[in-house]
Copies of this chain bind each other. A is one copy, B any other.
Amino acid sequence: MRVTRDFLRGRGRDAMSEADKDILERAVDRIDTLPARTIVTRRGDRLRNSTLLLEGAMCRYMDARDGFRQLVALQVPGDFVDLHGYPLHRLDHDVGTLTEARVAVVPHAAIDSIVADHPQLARILWRSTLLDAALHREWIFRIGRLDAAGRIAHFLLETYHRLKATGRGGNGTFELALIQQDLGEACGLTSVHVNRTLRRLREEKLVEAVRGTVTILDESGLARVGEFDPDYLYLEEGPWQAAAA
A interface list, Cβ under 8 A from B: 43-44, 60, 62, 64-66, 68, 70, 72-73, 84, 87-88, 92-93, 115-116, 119, 122-124, 126-127, 129-134, 136-141, 143-146, 187-188, 227, 231-232, 234
Contacts and interface: CB of A to CB of B under 8 A. Distances in A.
Contacts of A143: 140, 143-144, 188
A240 B81 CA distance: 31
Nearest to A131: B88
Given A62-B138, A116-B119, 8 more contacts: A64-B145, A64-B227, A65-B227, A70-B144, A84-B130, A87-B127, A129-B133, A144-B188
B123 A87 contact: yes
- Secondary structure of the A contact surface, majority rule: helix
Contacts of A132: 133
Most buried by B among A62, A66, A73, A131: A62
B92 A232 contact: yes
B232 A130 contact: no
A88 B127 contact: yes
Contacts of A87: 123-124, 126-127, 130
